[in-house]
Chains A and B, each alone.
Chain A
Amino acid sequence: MYVYGHKLPALSSLILWALLWEVVGRLGLTFFIPPFSEVLVTLVGLIPTPAFLNALFVTAYAFLAGVFFAIAIGIPVGILMGKNRILDELLLPWVNIFLSAPLTALVPVLMVLFGFGTRTVIITTALFAIWIIILNARAGVRQINRSLVEMARSFGASPMDAFVKVYFWAALPEILGGVRIGVIRAVKGVIIGQLLISIVGFGALFELYSSKFLMAEFWAVLTVLFGLAFALSEFLAYLERKVSYYAAAR
């Protein structure tokens, strides 16, 4: 952003919004919005508390596990779908349905199936993330230049070599794009799962704060979550840029 020809650091527009928040909070229009400074003070006080750290740990664990499964299953499935017509026709309708389905509605079913604990949260997280990862890996493989595949074959590549040395790398820009969007969806998944179960992690904290009208705490935790999700997405966008040098030249 430029103001009178001076380049402002990235995200400096956020300062403006923080000020607006502060003013609205100071006006005392509603108990729902405490001043931003109060939220920050609460945040600093909140972070070292065992309740917060525990919630953070539980959430990070469920999130990482869910993302791990989504990636570890999603990428190979997507690559196989991109290579195999039969598999593609079998699975593609399901992938598309689940991609656009309101997965939140499935969480109660998952709770019945897998209990009211971390397991359900992990599965919810993976379900939120996996479909776009599959679709992107599939799209990445399908756009591979045919002669790269023929080249590998003509030099005697085994199927495993072709997979590891050609397909994966040729599809990597799309795969990373899918992983980035998948991870953002996984953040939603992990929080929605915890909220619906409401006895684990940040779900329990939110439940506690909103039932006792602890708005500053509520906003503080939310700010932390937004910040973490944003940082994660930026990090993945950075990885994506690292492969963009060949993405355009394929």
Chain B
Amino acid sequence: MQPIKSDTRRAVTETDSAVSVRNVSKVYGDVQALKDLSLEFPRGELTSLLGPSGCGKTTLLKIIAGLLEPTSGQIEVNGAKVTGPGPDRSFVFQDFALLPWASVIRNVAFGLELRGVAKSEREAIAEKYIREVGLAGFEKKFPHQLSGGMRQRVGLARALSVNAQVLLLDEPFSAVDEQTRRKFQEDLLELVKTEKKTFIFVTHSIEEAVYVSDQIAILLPRPSRVSEIIRPSSFRDKSVDNIRRDPEYLDIVDRIWASLRSYVE
């Protein structure tokens, strides 16, 4: 299967990577989670990491975040080598990672609080992003008073509020029902357009990956490496309602399923 060539956008972004992963391997004890993985993440685009469970998606994301050390290889963000977490990246956790003793607004502002932003200023910023993720009115609630999907949005708002150039999202829509998930996917497309940030997005869902991504990296199981990079081209600029009917969309979904199915069977 040939990776699908993309349109002019490709030419613009070809040399401009926000994040470069170079020959990264990661070994946990006797488990080799990643082997010699290299991947470029174009600036201002959304790249999905798609692959079967346990293939090392979270591991790769945490290495990019600087939370884990690679066993070998290196990561560059904006040309600088990653040695630890930094203000240029923010993370949306698979299990939300909210402070259960803090209100929604304090949770959303927590990244700014840790960076020493004054209380009134950080709460103003937090309020803006709470509105943006559709949680206006819930500022004073606590995480245990929210549904799973609402908690996930709190984690998203927190990651957005620190204004990092690279957003790392680990299955950010896993805890929501199908309808809400579709709504979030549309919102995410909108965010990519308006925020002009680089999104790295982990998902299990083929349809979701094709729907939201400028670039899809398919990882194969352990020791995992990139088996294929797909860049959908023709439907990205269509309105959100028409994407799921686009022939290229359906075609890519089928191709990805064909290459992944052998790992499920």
Contact = CB atoms under 8 A, between A and B. Distances in A.
A166 B115 CA distance: 15
Interface in B70-119: 85-87, 89-91, 93-95, 97, 99-101, 110-111, 113-115
Contacts of A243: 101
Contacts of B90: 154-155
B143 interface: yes
B97 A153 contact: no
A250 interface: yes
Q: How large is the interface on B (under 10, 10 to 19, 20 to 34, 35 or more residues)?
A: 20 to 34
Interface of B is mostly: loop
A246 B142 contact: yes
Interface residues of A, number: 23
A156 interface: yes
A153 to B, nearest CB: 6
B67 interface: yes
Contacts of B236: none
A248 B101 CA distance: 11
B110 A155 contact: yes
B101 A169 contact: yes
Contacts of B101: 169-170, 172, 243, 246
A154 B99 contact: no
- Of A147, A155, A249, most buried by chain B (CB within 10 Å of CB) is A155
Given A169-B99, A246-B101, A155 B111 contact: yes
14 contacts: A145-B95, A147-B97, A150-B67, A150-B93, A150-B97, A153-B67, A153-B85, A156-B114, A169-B101, A170-B101, A245-B144, A249-B100, A249-B143, A249-B144
Interface of B: 62, 65-67, 85-87, 89-91, 93-95, 97, 99-101, 110-111, 113-115, 142-144, 162
Which 8 residue pairs of A and B lie closest in terms of their CB atoms, listed nearest first? A249-B144, A246-B100, A151-B97, A155-B111, A147-B97, A154-B91, A155-B114, A154-B85
Given A170-B101, A246-B100, A246-B142, 15 more contacts: A145-B97, A150-B62, A150-B93, A154-B67, A154-B85, A155-B110, A155-B111, A155-B115, A155-B162, A156-B87, A156-B114, A169-B101, A245-B142, A248-B144, A250-B100
